[in-house]
Chains A and B, each alone.
Chain A
Amino acid sequence: MKQEYTITVYTENQIGLINKIAIIFTRRKINIESLNTSPSEVEGIHRFTIVINETEDVVRKLSRQIEKLLDVLKVDYNTDDEIIWQEMALYKVAADVITEKVKVERLLREQGARAVVIRKDYVIFECTGQREEINNLIKILEPYGLLEFVRSARIAIIKKSDGFHNKVKEFEYKVPSEALVENEFLDQNEGIFSM
């Protein structure tokens, strides 16, 4: 069954790496829903957050192929309930409409939005949250004339992860990480050998 997966990739900071990672997806004609690159908790190591809609089987194969790339240190993939994730959006609305309708301001506050810029001719609001919250705000603002809208890529923290500080030491210690050689067979050990 296809569902939303968030792939987290820890990499060296190398030119062209984004292309190498993108190729893994385009080769299989898989659309990337969202892609964010940023520094990570470890200096010099970058973190890609990629969202796709796929089956677990495909996501696992993709993750292994990404992990195989030189300059990639580690790949994890998670379903939405295994992560804390956020997106951010900006909304530009004509100032005259907004200032006239006080109830808009209240609505915005309820949605956790805030005004970033207030000018004579327009106001820019910002909202950080999940897809639903961001889309709600579009619906609210649309009747008042939404001039511009933009949403950022997803960023996500894996609930179970304790970061990359220790992992990177392992990698530098010349020994492959344990997690890389995990075997699903062991996870479902019972039953396999019953003839």
Chain B
Amino acid sequence: MTANPVQNINKKAHETKQATGSQALLEALIHEGVKTIFGYPGGAIMPVYDALYDYGDRLEHILVRHEQGAIHAAQGFARVSGKTGVVFATSGPGATNLVTGLADAMIDSTPLVCITGQVFAHLLGTDAFQETDVINIVTPVTKWAYQVTNAEEIPHVLAKAFYIASTGRPGPVVIDITKNAQLQLFDYQGYEKCLHIRSYKPKPEVRYVYIEEAAKVINEAKKPFVIYGQGVILGNAEQEFRDFIEKGNFPSAWTILGMGAVPTDHKLSVGMLGMHGNYGPNLLTNECDVLIAVGMRFDDRVTGRLDKYAKQAKIIHLDIDPAEIDKNVKSTVAVRGDCKETLPLLTVLVQKNENQAWLQQFRDCTIKETEKVIFPEQNPENETLTMAEVIKYINEITEGEAIIVTDVGQHQMVACRYVKMNQTRSNVTSGGLGTMGFALPAAIGAKYGAPDRQVIAIIGDGGFQMTLQELGTIMQANVNVKIIILNNQFLGMVRQWQELFHQNRYSFVDITSPNYVKLAEAYNIEAKKVDQRSELKSTLIEMLAHDNPFLLEVMVGKENNVFPMVPQGRGVSEIILSKEEL
């Protein structure tokens, strides 16, 4: 964030006027460039909604059907736009309904400012109606949480909230405002953006000596391998990253949240890491001699068993968050800092390289994976539809230009394995927390964050039923999202594990569905159901050309499994391509 001292003197200090806390709050949002709020009113936030009534020309409010929907929508908005998502909810249950989304945004580093109403300050601690100790409930799942009891605090607390949420490693912030503070009249001095907090360091100072050490290690490498995460996207460092890998010709693999930072069909893109990632990146993690990790945090789904993870390699770790360094994987050289600053410095020092034989090893792995998994999944011989062929047709129709929002489970893994992405900020999924029910509301927010782009939500039959009430939001606001339900009539990922690791004991994974077409029709949303291959592509074309929201249910194989797989407790190089290898 750059500071422009001249711009910041729009304080209107001379024209002090009386304002309520609620008005000061809405003024703060406008000064921060907020246009869209996702929310749900209630008793303890009514003064804010009353003020909002007069701000309709400047602030758009999307009424959701559940506060969880509001926060996931704000996450979707933030992920595709890079801006801070804003949520309003009332006290008590309104606030507690946000908790899942806060945890999700915290672990996936998504910038949010959530405003919760709170009971009058004199009632705090008395078990008043709809009172709950929000700050203590949300503290572990927020970057910052603060309670306001006096309206005079509102301008600078909001300024702090936006500064904290959006800078450094982003994250969610909760500001809990008591009703008296919302109503209170005070001398409004104007709004001043926050640019510095002495106890908060958004990013470490870059120390050139580590850049040099890192370059030295990289330049000695015979088999360098780059793995990157969402840090590249959050740092707006896509171009810097691309320059870096292109100069050294480094094979590069993404974590699920890093996907799309460089186009998936870039010549150096070798696929996705992780439990259901691609074969080559997992296998060759244990063969590279230098592993260069950029803006990623070595999640256990990426590393598999830690004592069998890249033990032969020297590790270069670039991260903005000092607490991530050496947390899971010990680094040989740690480069702390914003990768937008560190990558160009490193690019200058790394030598040009061909790495042809090494890149060929990745291509060989892709050939093997294509032969054993990808081709048969995308071109099945029997009549049963597969998730992979649905994604194949989406790729053909959208040519990699759509925003893909996924939920959690088999469909998520299949979508992220096969979907093509040309642009950054195209992949919206619940990575760290694995929140079923995320996709439908997140897709709504994504459409508001990128109104000119096609937004496709791909959801399983289980996850869809967790937040399907948001069809109401889509209906009311006519949000042009395309919803694909990949229905395998099971909680597929749990079923897969029960098949592979629990001797086929299918314990409560058999889930029935309502008639989704009728359901969508009840919400006045166009819908179709497909179970024949002959209709699949044409229906997808019809859906994506449709001007309004559209729901498509695709019946897919009931007991298909997602492969390759790094079984839990195994090393990444023990990745298997089929059940038989287990």
Is the CB–CB distance between B139 and A71 below 8 Å? no
Contact among A60, A70, A183 with B197 in the assembled complex (CB-CB below 8 Å): A70
* Beta-carbon contact of B201 and A180 below 8 Å: yes
Residues of B within 8 A of A12 (CB): 198-199
Contact of A181 with B199 in the complex, beta carbons under 8 Å = no
Give the chain B neighbours of A177 by CB distance below 8 A: 201
Q: A12-B199, A72-B199, A172-B198 are in contact. Are A181 and B143 (CB under 8 A)?
A: no
Taking the closest CB of chain B, its distance from the CB of A47, in whole angstroms, is 13
**CB of B332 within 8 Å of the partner chain:** yes
Question: Given A172-B198, A176-B205, A193-B217, does the pair A70, B164 have CB atoms closer than 8 Å?
Answer: yes
A70 touches B199 (CB 8 A): yes
- Shortest CB-to-CB span from B568 to chain A, Å, is 21
The tally of residues in A whose CB lies under 8 Å from a CB in B reads: 34
Query: Is A86's beta carbon under 8 Å from chain B?
Result: no
In the complex, what distance in Å separates the CA atom of A186 from the CA atom of B323?
A: 18
Tell whether, in the assembled complex, residue B199 and residue A171 are in contact, meaning their CB atoms are under 8 Å apart: yes
User: How many chain B residues touch A (Cβ–Cβ < 8 Å)?
Assistant: 35
- Interface-lining segment among A19-27, A32-40, A107-115, A147-155: A19-27
- Rounded to whole angstroms, the CA-CA distance of A166 and B210 in the bound complex is 26
Residues of B within 8 A of A168 (CB): 198
A11 at the interface (CB under 8 A from B): yes
CB distance from B218 to the nearest CB of A (A): 12
Residues of A within 8 A of B203 (CB): 176
CB contacts (< 8 Å) of B136 on chain A: these are 16, 19
- Beta-carbon contacts under 8 Å, B118-166 to A: 135-136, 139-140, 143-145, 164
The total of Cβ contacts below 8 Å across the A-B interface reads: 77
For B181-211 the 0/1 string (1 means CB < 8 A from A) is 0000000000000001111110111010110
Distance A70 CA – B135 CA, assembled complex (angstroms): 14
Residue of A nearest to B213 (CB): A185
Evaluate contact between B336 and A181: CB separation under 8 angstroms: yes
0/1 string, A173-192, CB within 8 A of B gives 1: 01111101101111000001
- For A50-90 the 0/1 string (1 means CB < 8 A from B) is 00000000001100110110111100000000000000000
- Indicate if the CB atoms of A68 and B204 lie closer than 8 Å: no
**Shortest distance between the CB of B205 and any CB in chain A (Å):** 5
The answer to whether B205 and A171 touch across the interface, beta carbons within 8 angstroms, is no
Q: Is B321 located at the chain interface by the 8 A CB criterion?
A: yes
- Chain A residue at minimal CB-CB distance from B216: A193
CB of A1 within 8 A of chain B?
no
Given contacts A23-B140, A27-B140, A64-B322, contact A185 B333 (CB under 8 A): yes
Q: A195 in the interface, Cβ–Cβ < 8 Å? A: yes
**Distance in Å: Cβ of B3 to nearest Cβ of chain A:** 10
Report chain B residues within 8 Å CB of A172: 198
Q: How far is the CB of A155 from chain B (nearest CB, A)?
A: 22
**Contact partner of B323 among A11, A16, A68, A185, CB < 8 A?**
A68
Q: Tell me how far the C-beta of A34 lies from the nearest C-beta in chain B, rounded to whole angstroms.
A: 23
Q: Tell yes or no: B341 within 8 A of A by CB.
A: no
Report Cα–Cα, A179/B373, bound state, in Å. Answer: 50
Complex Cα spacing A60 to B205, Å: 20
Given that A64-B322, A70-B144, A181-B322 are contacting pairs, would A176 and B201 also be in contact in the complex, using a CB cutoff of 8 Å? yes
B485: interface (CB < 8 Å):
no
A176 with B204: CB separation less than 8 A: yes
Question: Is there contact, CB below 8 Å, between B332 and A20?
Answer: no
Please name all residues of chain A whose beta carbon is closer than 8 Å to the beta carbon of B144 when the two chains form the complex. Answer: 70
Q: Does B327 contact A (CB under 8 A)?
A: yes
Q: How far is the CB of B343 from chain A (nearest CB, A)?
A: 17
Q: Is B220 close to A, CB under 8 A?
A: yes
Cβ of B334 under 8 Å from chain A: yes
Shortest beta-carbon distance, A22 to chain B, in Å?
10
CB distance from B390 to the nearest CB of A (A): 40
Tell me how far the C-beta of A60 lies from the nearest C-beta in chain B, rounded to whole angstroms: 8
CA distance A12 to B197 in the complex (A): 11
Inter-chain CA distance A176–B145, complex, in Å, is 23
Chain A residues, CB < 8 A from B140? 23, 27
Would you mind naming 23 contact pairs between A and B with Cβ atoms under 8 Å apart?
A12-B198, A16-B139, A23-B140, A60-B326, A61-B327, A67-B323, A68-B322, A70-B144, A70-B199, A72-B199, A73-B198, A168-B198, A171-B199, A174-B196, A176-B201, A177-B201, A178-B205, A180-B201, A180-B322, A181-B322, A184-B326, A185-B210, A185-B332
Residues of B whose CB lies within 8 Å of any CB of A are 135-136, 139-140, 143-145, 164, 196-201, 203-205, 207, 209-210, 213, 216-217, 220, 321-323, 325-327, 331-334, 336
Interface of A toward B, CB cutoff 8 Å: 11-12, 16, 19-20, 23, 27, 60-61, 64-65, 67-68, 70-73, 168, 171-172, 174-178, 180-181, 183-186, 192-193, 195
